[in-house]
Structure 1
Amino acid sequence: MRTHFSTGASDQMPQTYIKRILDARVYDVARESPLQEAALLTARLANTVWLKREDLQPVFSFKLRGAYNKMQRLSQAQRDAGVVAASAGNHAQGLAMAAQRLNVKAVIVMPRTTPQIKVDAVRNWGARVVLHGDSFEEAATKAQSFVDDKGMVYVHPFDDPDVIAGQGTVAMEIVRQRQEPLDAIFVPVGGGGLLAGVAAYIRYVWPQTKIIGVEPEDAACLKLALERGRRVTLPEVGLFAEGCAVAQIGKEPFRIIRDTVDEVITANTDEMCAAIKDIFEDTRSIAEPAGALALAGMKKYVARDGLKGQHLLAIVSGANTNFDRLRYISERTEIGEKREAVISVRIPEEPGSFRRFCSALGRRNITEFNYRFSDPQQALVFVGLSVTPGGDDLEKLLAELREGGYECEDLSDNEMAKLHVRYMVGGRAPAEVDNEAVYRVEFPERPGALLKFLSSLGQKWNISMFHYRNHGSAYGRILVGVQVARGERAQFRAVLDGVGYPYREETDNVAYKLYLGKQ
């Protein structure tokens, strides 16, 4: 969806915000965040990529700017009444810090889905936290009750001119730091406060610069509003990028955005995860999903239009994410970068078929292998493997496998497969599986190591269970079940000794007996 900067009466609108932004009081608490060139991304995307590091603010988010600017403009009577806000976390932290600095009582209503790291941070700034509902809208309704019942002042996270002006100081710094106009600026969108402030300032100072908003694919309230020409409320929003999980774009932000923004792009979960990794590799900092959203949009924009040689900037808007989410983010990153594919393949249920299938894959790096015996004739394996991004590498592989007689299915874009099925492949051994011995094996994480292991087993023993997942470490780990008669166990262990990889038998492990062995 493209919109264009209008030249009618609304030309006055950015000018009024220029004064608001220049007069904004933010630097009592906020710092001028650095503008950093991302060297690795610059080389990979063939465009000069700049990151505006708002993740380095005292509360690890740009939201401090708008909250403090609003608080500065309250009367003494309003401050005495106290302030209340609804927030998924970053605005809450900004307002809590501002309230502490100005010695004002603050109540923050947060959705129950808010990461604990944000809840704890708000409490550490001295604000009272009330957890209510599962979305921003439910939290906002609860916050309004504090206004109605206790006379507190509601500080909106985005739908307020003073908040928008405070966020607009990000653009003021970009212009001062960069000096020469950029080709495009990418801004994350939740309720629209940051995009509105940045767009108002940049459109006035650098009219030739494209301003592109980026929304989560499952919370694209601005994109829908632009398509329909009016604000609409999404029936539900995704919560992965909880900092942008807003069902309706703000009224005042939308008034500004529709006349100043060139385009809105959406990004999915995998693309955000990939962008988190990109930011980490260039900065050694971990952005939250909403914080990496703008970069995810930039990468799609560059790939779609085939851009080269341009100066592009993404605002890294925040770094408040729970540590335990990193495992999920890491799992989804390779698929988000189009560097990993997930496929399902049928192979003959016979000794040696694993080895032949791995040979058919060639020197490709296998990232995941899940299998459990279920049928005497055919084996169904769940496979993750590295592919070359940006081309037809996966399509060629699938064609080669089908020509070789394998029935296969691409599951790379299947959300259920990636979220659930990959972890559920397995279960108890069926009645046909006799004499199953189970081993954990470690091997050096390099192409060909897995094939070497399978080739060493030969075709004497049938593999009845197999699980492997690359976790990015120096050594890969396999859990393998093999049908080995009791009298042949010593012979089988001799084969494993010959392979040279460390291993440990787990046939008597209680977890195996409870969940994987025969009933």
Structure 2
Amino acid sequence: MPDRNDVLAAAERISGQVLKTPLLQAQIRGARVWLKAECLQTGGAFKLRGASNRLLKLAPGERRRGVVAFSSGNHAQGVAIAAKRLGVRATIVMPSDAPALKIEATRAEGATIVLYDRRTEDRVAIARSLADEEGATLVPSFDDPDIVAGQGTAGLEIAEQLGREPRQIVVPTGGGGLAAGIALACPAARLICVEPEGWDDMRRSLEQGEIVPVDGGAPPTLCDALQTPRVSPITFGILQERSALGVSVTEDQVRQAVRFAWRELKLVVEPGGAVALAALLSGKLAPEEDTVAVLSGGNIDLDLHSRILAEA
């Protein structure tokens, strides 16, 4: 299990490899809150943090044999960017229904893309088979201590930018790597994990005290980045120990948050990256003073973004 020292070490290791993203003020339901704009990170999401930390720790022989990852897009781009910088071959397993923007951006970084059907195929099994065939290193999107530690550097930045740890940090959650990393980085803050309805397995796992997978009949969601069927013992263990809470938001609430980010902040935020903001705007969470919400990604197809903006 990673700890806060691992997050501090990751911050030193990836210094110069990732951007220090801004912490922006916003008025929500009469309260001043802070928004950590990871949608402005290189690659459009926080994922470059964990990917850079993991790949920088590869031994020379591992670098020569390459890496394999599986992702709907943001981790894919993070791994592809980090691999290109280090001269490492990268193969990424991506769902065939991932946003075209994410697939093309990953391919543009030099990664080899292997598509699969998320309804009928197991991405982990496919990635493990490819890694075994190539002798490559498997780089999971959240079930890895170095990934979690790297993502936690966003939490260190939040505390540095505020000059203290905030009272409450609200985090978009799929597998929980970002939330768990921030929990390690900011041990005094209250952690809230936000997921789309039907894909809120972290919320249910925290409430029931054990890992509960997503139901097979989970509804379609715009939040492609958060369609993780099962959280990991690493992320669940950290968040359970920190007594983190979970909430879920509807598709309409997510769309409202995407519109708010554009109209009030001039930020392009993808649906999965907007769920923490959606929880505050909708009243699912009280926007208390000294609350930070993470805007975790901004990779959204332009036509979808335009349709959401036009719905108001």
| TM-score normalized by the length of structure 2 | 0.93
For the 8 Å contact 2:72–2:224, the answer to whether it is kept is yes
Over 3 Å counting, the alpha-carbon distance change for 1:307 and 1:243 in structure 2 is: closer
Q: State whether structure 2 residue 257 is matched by structure 1 residue 269.
A: no
**1:137 Cα offset (Å):** 7.0
Over 3 Å counting, the alpha-carbon distance change for 1:261 and 1:295 in structure 2 is: farther
**Separation (CA, whole Å) in 1 of partners of 2:122 and 2:297:** 23
**1:305 Cα offset (Å):** 6.7
**1:297 Cα offset (Å):** 1.6
**Misfit runs of 4+, over 6 Å:** none
Amino acid at match of 2:247: I
What residue is the counterpart of 2:267 in the other structure? 285
**Separation (CA, whole Å) in 1 of partners of 2:127 and 2:29:** 44
What residue is the counterpart of 2:167 in the other structure? 183
**Separation (CA, whole Å) in 1 of partners of 2:120 and 2:308:** 23
**Separation (CA, whole Å) in 1 of partners of 2:33 and 2:75:** 27
**Separation (CA, whole Å) in 2 of partners of 1:192 and 1:103:** 29
Q: 5+ residue gaps in structure 1? A: 1-12, 335-519
What residue is the counterpart of 1:55 in the other structure? 39
Amino acid at match of 2:213: T
**1:304 Cα offset (Å):** 5.3
SS at match of 2:164: coil
Question: Which protein, 1 or 2, shows the higher relative CO under an 8 Å CA cutoff with sep ≥ 6?
Answer: 2
Choose from 213, 227, 240 the match for 1:258: 240
For the 8 Å contact 2:68–2:139, the answer to whether it is kept is yes
Residues 437-466 of structure 1: CA deviation (Å, up to 9, x unaligned): xxxxxxxxxxxxxxxxxxxxxxxxxxxxxx
Q: State whether structure 2 residue 302 is matched by structure 1 residue 323.
A: yes
For the 8 Å contact 1:21–1:166, the answer to whether it is kept is yes
What residue is the counterpart of 1:342 in the other structure? none
SS at match of 1:296: helix
Residues 320-363 of structure 1: CA deviation (Å, up to 9, x unaligned): 0101112442365x4xxxxxxxxxxxxxxxxxxxxxxxxxxxxx
Amino acid at match of 1:330: L
Over 3 Å counting, the alpha-carbon distance change for 1:181 and 1:68 in structure 2 is: closer
Q: State whether structure 2 residue 207 is matched by structure 1 residue 227.
A: yes
Amino acid at match of 1:325: L
**1:298 Cα offset (Å):** 2.2
Aligned pairs for 1:393-404 within 5 A: none
What residue is the counterpart of 1:84 in the other structure? 68
**1:117 Cα offset (Å):** 0.3
**1:256 Cα offset (Å):** 0.4
What residue is the counterpart of 1:312 in the other structure? 291
What residue is the counterpart of 1:218 in the other structure? 198
SS at match of 2:293: strand
Deviates more, 1:129-138 or 1:72-81: 129-138
Over 3 Å counting, the alpha-carbon distance change for 1:134 and 1:328 in structure 2 is: farther
**Separation (CA, whole Å) in 2 of partners of 1:219 and 1:285:** 25
Amino acid at match of 1:230: E
Residues 113-161 of structure 1: CA deviation (Å, up to 9, x unaligned): 1100001100110111111112697222211111222221100000100
**Separation (CA, whole Å) in 1 of partners of 2:280 and 2:59:** 41
Over the matched positions of the two proteins, sequence identity in percent amounts to 35
CA RMSD of aligned residues (A): 1.8
What residue is the counterpart of 1:29 in the other structure? 17
SS at match of 1:297: helix
Residues 240-281 of structure 1: CA deviation (Å, up to 9, x unaligned): 100001110122101101111431110111001101111112
**1:92 Cα offset (Å):** 0.4
What residue is the counterpart of 1:123 in the other structure? 107
What residue is the counterpart of 2:222 in the other structure? 240
Over 3 Å counting, the alpha-carbon distance change for 1:227 and 1:46 in structure 2 is: same
SS at match of 2:113: strand
**Separation (CA, whole Å) in 2 of partners of 1:165 and 1:136:** 32
Residues 78-122 of structure 1: CA deviation (Å, up to 9, x unaligned): 111110000000000000000000000000010011100001100
Amino acid at match of 1:248: R
Over 3 Å counting, the alpha-carbon distance change for 1:84 and 1:287 in structure 2 is: same
Over 3 Å counting, the alpha-carbon distance change for 1:187 and 1:305 in structure 2 is: closer
What residue is the counterpart of 1:17 in the other structure? 3
**Separation (CA, whole Å) in 1 of partners of 2:88 and 2:164:** 41
**Separation (CA, whole Å) in 1 of partners of 2:63 and 2:177:** 23
Q: 5+ residue gaps in structure 2? A: none
**1:306 Cα offset (Å):** 5.8
**Separation (CA, whole Å) in 1 of partners of 2:161 and 2:119:** 36
Over 3 Å counting, the alpha-carbon distance change for 1:321 and 1:136 in structure 2 is: farther
For the 8 Å contact 1:47–1:311, the answer to whether it is kept is no
**1:183 Cα offset (Å):** 2.6
For the 8 Å contact 1:137–1:247, the answer to whether it is kept is no
| TM-score normalized by the length of structure 1 | 0.57
Residues 388-433 of structure 1: CA deviation (Å, up to 9, x unaligned): xxxxxxxxxxxxxxxxxxxxxxxxxxxxxxxxxxxxxxxxxxxxxx
Amino acid at match of 2:202: L
Which of the pair has more CA radius of gyration? Answer: 1
What residue is the counterpart of 1:99 in the other structure? 83
For the 8 Å contact 2:165–2:186, the answer to whether it is kept is no
**1:60 Cα offset (Å):** 0.7
Aligned pairs for 1:480-519 within 5 A: none
SS at match of 2:97: coil
